Structure 1
């Protein structure tokens, strides 16, 4: 069995008290309760993360990479149970081989009115994964943390006409951005994996539109 590594328990301790950017702070009331699974494993290139790519036909977040997850149902009993159930339904991952190690602070997606509990977990006994719910999931990938941290894979995403920008990562044939990109960016910092990269004057930038992303410049 592959016991939880020290670096992940240390990351869980730090993540539990990480600051939440103002746009992601949940309102005092309201919002639909949901959970996502941030599942770390050990792959050929070291630590990796399990990501899905959403189906292009979805009404919300179509085609976007994301962490497995969804609504918390009454029968779940906890965000952890909901995150594991949703991950199993979407990717075929076996919850029996996963150890939950902590949570990130609750986050808010104003666009879809979701209150999201990010559940941090260790993939003690990895298994084969694949798109199970084909109506929701187009692809499933284990993405090495080293690829996410590599400066040459990092881009900026501009949100509309205003000054707001967010991190993006070009990995595994995907562009990880938005809510998921912001969480990945925070995890890289908390885990001590972030490498120096050119934030200013980027020639490789993307702009978020209602239909996805388009290159800028």
Structure 2
């Protein structure tokens, strides 16, 4: 079940709205895709880690290595498949974040669990875990074969209207939000979740939803191709 893991009042004021509303959300808040009942899906978890740096609240993102077989080069939250030895999605999210970015889990406080979200392209049922980075630790691309870049991206930069637009994949019906910030091009599942969280957290600013760009052209402009 999704919902708060802590009292909202024990978290920073800027994070409280997300904690408070987390129990009221369902998957339809984030995606129109539902897991097919007659086909196999794999369980996964991602860590949406909010910290506070010199430029205000930020979120930890990574860019996957170009050599990976799936989602190569895409910007994502730290995360991965649930292992049999994991004690649940929270443990999965923390373990994967440590393995991919080197973040010290002892400084991370999980604060809420969001609804499980289905990602059709990879057939994963992904549970996002919201967390507060109480004691930030150094982060890096632990294994360059898996992770190309790790970055703390300011919420204010994500909310900046100049960094937001939509992308369309002709012939597929796909239309979704995207961000170009700090040298990262964010689209797909990650951009969709971030877009909703900006709204729910009260950070969203008016932006031009009529700015719709061709996905492949946008990928090429930002230095990589869709795989």
> Fold conserved (TM > 0.5)?
yes
Paired with 2:36 and 2:11, the residues of 1 have a C-alpha distance of 34
Aligned length: 209
Q: Which residue of 2 aligns with 1:26?
A: 35
The residue correspondences of 1:96-135 to structure 2 (distance < 5 A) are: 96-135=106-145
How far does the alpha carbon of each residue in 1:9-53 deviate from its partner, in whole angstroms, 9 at most, with x for none? 331221333343453333346310100000000011110000000
Matched, 1:64 2:64: no
Matched, 1:89 2:125: no
Gaps of 5+ in 2: 1-9, 222-227
CA shift for structure 1 position 145: 0.1
Flag the 1:50–1:60 CA change in 2: closer, same or farther, 3 A. Answer: same
Given that 2:60 and 2:152 are in contact with CA atoms closer than 8 Å, whether structure 1 keeps it comes out as yes
Query: What secondary structure is seen at the aligned counterpart in 2 of 1:16?
Result: helix
Matched, 1:213 2:223: no
Matched, 1:54 2:61: no
Given that 1:99 and 1:122 are in contact with CA atoms closer than 8 Å, whether structure 2 keeps it comes out as yes
Flag the 1:193–1:73 CA change in 2: closer, same or farther, 3 A. Answer: same
Q: Which residue of 2 aligns with 1:152?
A: 162
Q: Which residue of 2 aligns with 1:141?
A: 151
What is the TM-score of this pair, normalised by structure 1? 0.90
Flag the 1:124–1:171 CA change in 2: closer, same or farther, 3 A. Answer: same
Gaps of 5+ in 1: none
RMSD, matched Cα? 1.8
Paired with 2:66 and 2:24, the residues of 1 have a C-alpha distance of 35
The residue correspondences of 1:161-200 to structure 2 (distance < 5 A) are: 161-200=171-210
